[in-house]
């Protein structure tokens, strides 16, 4: 049993539930594969893979040249940290089905790979669908592919995850 599956069992989910869970398992990046790319307001480093960092730096620079100020809200997340997120939401009274519409199970989050970035713009609330109405989102839709980024969770995505216009995956 993988470490992710061991953690998932602590959530009390059945094998039937897991067999119908749609997002694919994601490999967790090793510490050697990760590098600090940015830091949060709390001065916590945001980690990503080296290839993702290069793609991001090029994309952010191109966006800035077009007058678009994008920044990273979050990057790599360990399987253990993903479990903490899910447990925090459960303690706050959310049921597991509600949680899994916006947060992947531990072991299934693209953030584990070190290639997923949650993006934002100054003056905008973070991690909300409102990001869809920004110049930054419009710019990403037109240009992100040229920098090896794609939006993982558009509306009606095949994984049953809520629309996340801020979540972009580096395919490099």
Average pLDDT over residues 121-149: 97
Q: Cα(114)–Cα(46) distance, rounded to whole angstroms?
A: 10
User: For residue 106, which of 129, 91, 89 has the smallest C-alpha distance?
Assistant: 89
pLDDT in tens, 107-131: 999 999 999 999 999 999 999 999 9
Name the band, by pLDDT with cuts 50, 70 and 90, for residue 143.
very high
CATH architecture label of 3-170: 2-Layer Sandwich (3.30)
Instruction: Please report the pLDDT score of residue 5 as a whole number.
Output: 67
| Percentage of the chain lying above the pLDDT 90 cut | 79
Question: pTM for this structure?
Answer: 0.91
Report domain extents, the chain: 3-170
Give Cα 134 distance to the centre of its chain: 19
Number of residues that make up the chain:
172
Q: How far apart are CA 39 and CA 74, in angstroms?
A: 9
26-40, 50-64, 119-133: the lowest-pLDDT one: 26-40
């Amino acid at each position: 049993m993988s470490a992710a599956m061991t953690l998932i069992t602590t959530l009390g989910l059945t094998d039937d539930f897991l067999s119908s869970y749609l997002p694919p398992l994601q490999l967790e990046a090793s510490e050697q594969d990760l590098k600090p790319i940015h830091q949060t307001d709390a001065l916590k480093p945001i980690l990503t893979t080296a290839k993702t960092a290069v793609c991001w730096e090029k994309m952010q620079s191109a966006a800035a040249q077009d007058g678009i100020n994008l920044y990273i809200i979050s990057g790599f997340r360990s399987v253990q940290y993903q479990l903490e997120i899910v447990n925090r939401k459960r303690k706050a009274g959310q049921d597991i089905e509600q949680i899994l519409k916006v947060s992947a199970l531990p072991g299934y989050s693209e953030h584990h790979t070190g290639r997923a970035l949650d993006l934002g713009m100054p003056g905008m609330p973070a991690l909300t669908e409102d990001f869809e109405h920004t110049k930054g989102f419009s710019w990403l839709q037109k240009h992100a592919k040229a920098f090896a980024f794609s939006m993982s969770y558009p509306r009606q995505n095949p994984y049953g995850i809520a629309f996340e216009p801020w979540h972009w995956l580096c395919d490099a």
